Amino acid sequence: MATNRIGRWLIGLRAAGMTLSFALLAGPLPAAATAAGDNAAMPAQWRSQKLEFNYMALTAFYTCDGIESKVRLILLTLGARNDAKVQAVACDRASNKPEKIAWVKAEFSTLVPAADGAAPKDTVQAAWSTVLLAPNRPTEMGTGECELLDQMRPMIEKGFTMRNTAYHANCVPKQISVGDYSLRSDVLRLVTPIAN
C-alpha cells in the first residue's frame, strides 16, 4: 500500500516537473505577468555587444542563411532586442550548400539591471522570465541543434543576464536524439505595458 502511494507521488512529481520544464515565455512579458514577488518589474538598460563563435559540425550542417536564422532565433528567444544581426562567414554562400564550418558573428542588445542613478529616459521595465530551449521549444528548434547550442554557449553566457540556469548538451557525433540538449534559465526580458 505504501509502495503504491510512493509510486503515485513520484509519477505526479515527474509529471509536474515535465510540465514546468516545458514552459516557454516568448516575446516581451505583459506587465500583469510581473506584478508580484521575485518577478516584479525592475528598471533595466539595453547593453549592445558584438560576439562571435566558430561552428564546427559533425552531425548538423547548415547553409549560411540557415545558421544565421537559427542563431538569430535563439538570441531572440532569450530576449535579445528585435534588431539583432547575425552574419555567417567562411561558408559558401554562392552554392547555398550545407557546410561543416562557419564563423558566426552577432550584433545584439540584451537587458541588464539599470545602473544606480540611471536616468528614467535611458531605462525600460524588465522582469525575470523562464525560457526553455529544447527540441520543438520553440517549434523551430529541431532535434539536431545540439552541436549548435553547445558551441553557442559562451555567446549566450556572455550576452545575457541569466539566473537559475540548467544547461544540458550530450552531443553524440552523427546521432540525433530528442533528449540531446536543453537550456532552461530565468532571463531578464522586456516588459510591455498592457493596452487599455
Asked if residue 5 belongs to a domain, the reply is: no
Task: For strands 29-30 and 181-192, give the pairing.
Answer: parallel
Domain span at residue 41 reads: 25-192
Asked if residue 116 belongs to a domain, the reply is: yes
Give percent of the chain above pLDDT 70: 79
Beta strands in the chain (DSSP E): 29-30, 42-56, 85-89, 101-113, 124-133, 162-169, 181-192
Q: What is the pLDDT of residues 113-148, one digit of tens each?
A: 999 888 888 899 999 999 999 999 999 999 999 999
How many whole angstroms separate alpha carbon 147 and alpha carbon 141?
12
DSSP conformational letter for 121: G
The domain total for the chain is: 1
Asked if residue 107 belongs to a domain, the reply is: yes
Q: What is the pLDDT of residues 63-107, one digit of tens each?
A: 999 999 999 999 999 999 999 999 999 888 888 899 999 999 999
Asked if residue 2 belongs to a domain, the reply is: no
Asked if residue 18 belongs to a domain, the reply is: no
Rg (CA), the chain: 19
Average pLDDT of the chain is 84
Asked if residue 90 belongs to a domain, the reply is: yes
Asked if residue 159 belongs to a domain, the reply is: yes
Asked if residue 170 belongs to a domain, the reply is: yes
